[in-house]
């Protein structure tokens, strides 16, 4: 099965700075890598994903990069704002199905 490692576990930045969260995966057959944002007391919200046929994808202030050779992918948030504060999870396909294996999460704190 898939194994996903996520770093760092906590990340504190000042408003306006950039934040980067990194994940590695083990299954070279994995081809889909979503990122979820979870606010306190809420469910995970899909914020961006990337498929293995591209190396980078952007959506306004967030971007995800993928290095298939090294089996790692990263989430980049630019011009961070206090409302970006949340726990972020990376994920990769679990076994041969559409289920997901998640990283342990990164708590991002953006200070005004």
Assess 3 for contact with another protein (CB under 8 A): no
Q: How far is the CB of 32 from another protein (least distance, A)?
A: 4
Q: Positive or negative CA dihedral for 43, 78, 22, 70?
A: positive
**Residue 31 near another protein by CB under 8 A:** yes
12 binds another protein (CB under 8 A): no
Query: Using omega within 30 degrees of 0 as the cis cutoff, is the peptide bond preceding 112 cis?
Result: no
Among 18, 45, 67, 81, binds another protein (CB under 8 A): 45
**Is the CB of residue 50 less than 8 Å from the CB of residue 64?**
yes
Interface residues for another protein in 49-78 (CB under 8 A)? Answer: 49, 51
10 Å CB burial of residue 57 (0-12, 13-18, 19+) is middle
Positions in the binding site for another protein (CB under 8 A): 6, 30-32, 34, 36, 42-46, 49, 51, 89, 93-105
């Amino acid at each position: 099965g898939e194994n996903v490692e996520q770093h760092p576990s906590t990340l504190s930045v000042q408003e306006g700075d950039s934040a980067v969260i990194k994940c590695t995966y083990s299954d070279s057959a994995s081809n889909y890598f979503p990122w979820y944002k979870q606010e306190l007391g809420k469910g995970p919200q899909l914020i961006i994903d990337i498929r293995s046929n591209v190396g980078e994808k952007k959506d306004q202030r967030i971007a995800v990069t993928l290095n298939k050779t090294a089996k790692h992918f990263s989430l980049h948030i630019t011009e961070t704002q206090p409302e970006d504060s949340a726990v972020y999870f990376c994920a990769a396909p679990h076994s041969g199905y559409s289920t997901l294996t998640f990283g342990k999460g990164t708590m991002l704190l953006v200070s005004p």
